[in-house]
Amino acid sequence: MKAKLRFAAPSAGIGDLLVILAVNHSRSREKNAPGEPVLLTSDTVVLRAAESVLKSGEFKAESCETLLLHAPQGMPAKRLLLIGMGKLAKITVQDVRKAAGTAIRFAKPRGIREVIVTLPEDVAWTMGASTRAVVEGAHVGDFDPDTYRSDRKDQAVQWLIVNAPAVEKLTPEVKDEIDNAFRVGMVVGEAQNFTRSLVNEPGNTLTPTEMGKRAAAMCKLQGLACEVYSTEKIKELKMGAFWSVAQGSAEPPALIVMTYEPEEVQPDAPVLGLVGKGITFDTGGISIKPSDGMEKMKYDMAGGAAMIGAMQAIAQLHPKVKVIGIVCAAENMPGGKAQKPGDVQVAMSGKTIEIINTDAEGRLVLADGLAYAKQLGATHLIDAATLTGACVVALGHIQAGVFSNDETIYRHFQDALEISGERFWRLPLDEEYREMIVSQIADIMNTGGRWGGAITAAMFLKEFVGETPWIHLDIAGTAWVEDQKPWIAKGPSGIAMRSILEWVHSYDGVALPPTEAQPLS
């Protein structure tokens, strides 16, 4: 999808589909008083064209609600689409993302090739924030997972036009802000869809070796340093935890190391380590999973994909901080050489691990990935993984889990969420949970039993970061969209990529424009 900016009155532009965002606004002070739809535009031609349908009560401007008008009066655009964002008092920039995605997904099956989305006026955040949200949301809406369908139809929207209204009111500074936000939105939207494309690939296509090749190709294109190692290097580094997962598969593992080094960096600047779980297919190993739903286990490398996508965006946005991205890619298979419950493995750090359940493999590859990131000089760590079903039980498919051993690094991540719009909920790391993974024969076990499973998995990882400030993201419940949404297709979500990117930028002293404001009140 190509995109461009247009500075013009919304009603003046010629195009296939003009999109205007709307909210539900109640003028009464009563708590549950019904509201009325209000278009977020001052263009009188647009307001007149939609006046009768707004008065009819047919359109409530609920979240992602749509209403299409053909040949709108007084306008050269062929169609006018109204998209609701919900109650005025509760909307945020994330609602703009969803509305933009809804616009694209509305257009695609109707063969509409050009979509003009008008930036909302009179909201509590900047035009730049809206611009970036529109571009990112449109990219999210544009992705479909039907890559291998022989009857796949070309329904792609060819052009997204972001319409900045009221040209005479825009100062040069605001225009520059919109231009920059548009550029950033393109980079982030493309990186999120790259992440999703990796997650979407079947396990017989995206093997660990192929994942390494795609990461290396991206790095070459973006000017990043990249090394992809396999069995020999993993054994040389004494990554016993990582190798224990890979040893049961005929497919060799891949240790992917991507490095971004800025031209200018302060002597005492942190070095950020991004570590992703890259299990390209997870059978559970000897502790084999039930067959029902196992086909979705191709998504078990979503954390690694998020790191590769983040590195692509980092290379283009040039934060002034060094970043090392590590993905530990392997298949978890029940072959004749696979590890068994009861085995004891020695991690790269020297810590010994009793294997209780071979389906708790993600934490094993991350243990050595985190240790290696520290060895390469990372002073601050973040990892992402589709790690535990227990996190899905706790939080469902709405929020992902986040853990941290350091309040300062966690505040950086909270600030990142304000910009990314992604939803994470912090879970505890109280020391009492460590008792649940203490082994009788080794230092620790790779599972702590049924209760608090997401927490004991995080406590396991904590053993390998020591005092290094660290964030752990358990994205098992949100990496795959279970049901079709108006703004996003069923399938890979690309979760965590945007938040990881913003977290990186929080350390370079230069914030990505623009930050999200508080909801309108």
Q: How far is CA 44 from the centre of its chain?
A: 38
DSSP state of 253: P
Contact indicator for 446, 364 with CB cutoff of 8 Å: yes
Helices (H), 117-239: 127-142, 172-200, 208-222, 231-236
Q: Which helix (H) or strand (E) holds 17?
A: strand 17-25
Among 122, 9, 74, 125, CA closest to 421:
125
Q: What is the rounded CA–CA span in Å between residue 437 and residue 77?
A: 63
Torsion sign over Cα 490, 186, 272, 503? negative
| Residue 62 DSSP class | -
Residue 351 bears catalytic tag: no
Cα–Cα–Cα angle for 511, 517, 521, rounded to 5 degrees: 175
Contact 300, 277 (CB under 8 A): yes
Catalytic residue among 108, 363, 462, 498: 363
Does 363 participate in catalysis according to the annotation?
yes
The residue annotated as part of the active site, out of 78, 183, 233, 289, is: 289
Beta-sheet pairing, 225-229 with 79-87: unpaired
The residues facing 84 across adjacent strands are 22
Omega of the bond leading into 514 within 30 degrees of 0 (cis): yes
Task: List the catalytic residues.
Answer: 289, 363
